[in-house]
Chain A
Amino acid sequence: MSQKELMAIPNVTTPNQPVLFDPEICNGCNHCVEVCQIDVYIPNPEKGKPPIILHPDECWYCGCCVNDCPRPGAIKFNWPLQSRGYWKNKETGEIGQV
């Protein structure tokens, strides 16, 4: 990409992507846009496409958008790095993480 094509963009809000959409499964029904109590999303200007994550910094991780999605797999929760929980296999001691 040549220098002139670069946009000057402020730092990206953290966390940037509380969820990940699968555009193959999501049909842009916007149910998640309606369920979200704080309007993290806005509908995509192009019908049928996944919504746009506009206010990720206001997400309180209630999970309702994923829980209530009528097309399972269309939205996946994406915990920020600092919020990924751990566990340990009792027998082997192997550590697991979300």
Chain B
Amino acid sequence: MTTWHDYLKEEGQPPSWPYPVRYGEEQEIEVDILVVGGGIAGCWAAISAARHGLKVALVEKGDTIRSGAGGPGCDHWCCVPANPHSRVNPDDWALHMADRPYPNGIGIQIQCREDYDTLLEMERMGGKIRDTDDDYLGAEGRYDDTKLMISPRYGTIHSYLPDPDMGKPGFNPPEERNNVVIRVWGSTFKPALKRECKRLGVQIFDRVMGTSLLTEKGVQGGRVIGATGLNNRTGEFMIFKSKATILSTAGGGSLWMMNSELCGMSSMMSRTSSGDGHIMAWKAGAELVNMEATGIIGIATGMKHKWYSGGGDASYENVPLVDANGKRLPLPIQGWEDAGAMVPTPETQAKIREGILKGEYELPFYGNFPAMSDVERRATWNLMLGEESTTKIIIDTFNQAGYDGSRDLLQSYKFLEGESMPQWRQPGMGGLLVDWNLKSSLDGLYVAGMTMFSSEDHSYCAATGRYAGRKAAAYAGEINHGKVSRDQIEKEKARIYAPVKRNHGIEWKELHAGIARAMQYYASEFRTERLFKMGLGALEKIEKESVPMLYALDPHKLMRTLEDIHMLEHAKIILQASLARKASSMPLGFQRIDYPEMDPPEWSKFSTIKLENNESKIGHKPQEFWGNMKEEYEKNNSDYEGVYKGE
């Protein structure tokens, strides 16, 4: 008896809610620094702030031990140009990485400068970053002196696409590689981070969702002086008073995904990553950037038994791909031979598709694991695929079912399953505007990881979390607590508990499907002014007519309900930002039928959006608004001491 239905059948009644229910009861916590979101960025922010001797609270919707997209693991520590085997200068590399439209030059510079220090600290906390057990002796990229394992990624250039010189004689020789990405055992990271938080005295509030930011006198645009939260097991109301607050709550991944039963299976993030921080900040008056940007979900869509449906699918990470007859395919494999290229060029993609239709390549395709040397196969299977976020369980399941890479070809689903549906999208690069302190446009509010605009990967979240913690600590050391407005708290309590005061109406799943459908119809493949306006109208109708009918039968469902209300607001912002950009843009995934010219020069600028007196206000920022990356970094970090030397 382990399912709810089994229990019902055997006991004749459903189980009681297992936690005490405390709707409306208040718990007040006063700290120097509040971190909302306990994933990779949030843990690093809390640790970094606590090292300054400050009182820190960390609020997490799940349990910090394994929560967030990086909770289960991480296989690549990207962009560590300061590592001892690197052949590039960190500042030059940061410039390379930021040399594309609409990036976050601030975050990239921080990552390139501080990521190796962050990794060394990770090791000190108990994370495994080297092949200390000599499991992969002789593997390409392994350095015997440091036992660090360099990844093929970014071997020659900083692109996911193949280097144009690929295949030429002498391409990508070991002695010339950039060596900027390190393979790591990321499944060891998150428990180590939680342990370190505890050791440093960080007060961890697991199973608490952040619901709103508190501002000085309750005024929109005022200094952020804390936040409210909801315990998603007990329904208790949490009031956090803080001198500085750091948001690290990732993004709203399932906005276009209609079926809630596919939510978790269909993105790089679980349902819990619902972009709460974006909306908490938005309502408080913070400025957001790139909110019109979206991308098609190309990864693990609804099929979590494989790694990617992008570049190489199940046999990604250095595995040669063959067709059903063993014929090698010209797909990149993120390996040494293609310098880590991940996705084929559109031309290669078209060529293979044509080859399939003509019978040149026969489906299905396979990862030719048996063709690899033993050490490369093990490094790929056990380390790269085994450590990459949610993939450890996939490896274990295959092993237990009898799969043997020395003997068996692993099926790929590339082409076989078709492309991801164009209306299945996800918010792309939208997030909070930040400055060189990773401060938002509001005083007292700092940002880490994926909550900021144009964020990157796991190690980016770690480095920016660590940085935001240190900058927030400096601010908190010089300022007093603000005065919390009781009126703001009462309004928030009335808002969040409304669904538990009803016992019928609409449940969160239907609300979610309604929002997703509106986004699929009006903000997907085909975009026009009329469709955006219709979308906004549809969302406003949901807000007006359906939100007041929402009901939640327990604290967990209340959390999901509040998440979807956040996603509804998120969707509205996307449509408002979409209306404001009267041009198409390839890098923003934004193709308008009524403004077909792609990336016209006059629109080569960031769009910003914020609330002022509850009215949306659009603004713009020039490309590279952060200035000279090296100079600005140095100006703002003359006191940076490198790897933490304290206890």
Contact = CB atoms under 8 A, between A and B. Distances in A.
Given A35-B65, A37-B71, A56-B3, A79 B397 contact: yes
Greatest chain A CB density within 10 A among B9, B71, B304, B389 is at B304
A13 B306 CA distance: 23
B280 to A, nearest CB: 19
Contacts of A89: 407-409
Given A45-B16, A60-B271, A38 B264 contact: yes
Contact of B396 (A53, A66, A87): A66
Chain A interface size, under 10 / 10 to 19 / 20 to 34 / 35 or more: 35 or more
B4 to A, nearest CB: 5
Interface in B305-353: 305-306, 314
Given A35-B63, A35-B66, A57-B260, A52 B3 contact: yes
Interface in B182-229: 187, 207
Given A7-B8, A54-B4, A83 B305 contact: yes
Given A35-B65, A37-B63, A53-B2, A87 B409 contact: yes
Interface residues of B, number: 62
Interface in B549-566: 556, 560
B396 A77 contact: yes
A86 B313 CA distance: 13
Contact of A82 (B16, B65, B303): B303
Nearest to B190: A64
A91 B407 contact: yes
B640 interface: no
A20 B550 CA distance: 33
B272 interface: yes
B409 A85 contact: no
B270 A85 contact: no
A74 B344 CA distance: 42
A34 B67 CA distance: 10
B263 interface: yes
Given A52-B3, A57-B261, A98-B398, A34 B63 contact: yes
Contact of A55 (B314, B368, B556): B556
Given A38-B272, A67-B72, A61 B393 contact: yes
Nearest to A91: B407
B50 interface: no
A27 interface: no
B151 interface: no
Contacts of A16: 3, 5
A86 to B, nearest CB: 4
A77 to B, nearest CB: 5
A98 B409 CA distance: 14
A37 B407 contact: no
A60 B260 CA distance: 11
Contact of A96 (B7, B18, B408): B408
B343 to A, nearest CB: 21
A63 B72 contact: yes
Interface string B368-381: 10100000000000
Interface in A50-96: 50-64, 66-68, 77, 79, 82-91, 96
A14 B411 CA distance: 25
A17 B1 CA distance: 11
B390 A60 contact: yes
Contacts of A49: 1
A85 to B, nearest CB: 4
A59 B130 CA distance: 32
A66 B390 CA distance: 11
Contacts of B3: 12, 16-17, 52-53, 56
Given A85-B398, A91-B407, A58 B393 contact: no
Nearest to B402: A96
Given A60-B263, A85-B398, A37 B305 contact: no
Chain B interface helix/strand/loop/mixed:
loop
B410 interface: yes
A39 B8 contact: no
A42 B15 CA distance: 9
B390 A61 contact: yes
Residue of A9, A37, A60 with highest tally of chain B CB at under 10 A: A37
Interface in A8-47: 9, 12-17, 20-21, 23, 34-39, 42-45
A1 to B, nearest CB: 10
Contact of B314 (A58, A67, A84, A85): A85
B625 interface: no
A2 interface: no
B411 A87 contact: yes
Contacts of A85: 305-306, 314, 394, 398, 410-411
B232 interface: yes
Contacts of A77: 393, 396-397
A54 B260 CA distance: 15
Nearest to B39: A37
A45 B11 CA distance: 11
A97 interface: yes
Nearest to A20: B2
B18 A88 contact: no
Residue picked from A55, A63, A83, most chain B C-beta under 10 Å? A63
A8 B116 CA distance: 59
A74 B3 CA distance: 15
Contacts of B370: 90
A37 B392 CA distance: 16
Interface in B155-191: 187
B366 interface: yes
Nearest to A12: B5
22 contacts: A7-B9, A12-B3, A39-B233, A42-B15, A42-B18, A45-B15, A49-B1, A53-B2, A53-B3, A60-B265, A60-B269, A61-B265, A67-B72, A67-B187, A82-B302, A83-B303, A85-B306, A88-B409, A89-B408, A90-B409, A97-B401, A98-B305
Q: Which 3 residue pairs across A and B have the least CB separation, nearest first?
A: A63-B393, A60-B264, A37-B62
Interface of A: 7, 9, 12-17, 20-21, 23, 34-39, 42-45, 49-64, 66-68, 77, 79, 82-91, 96-98
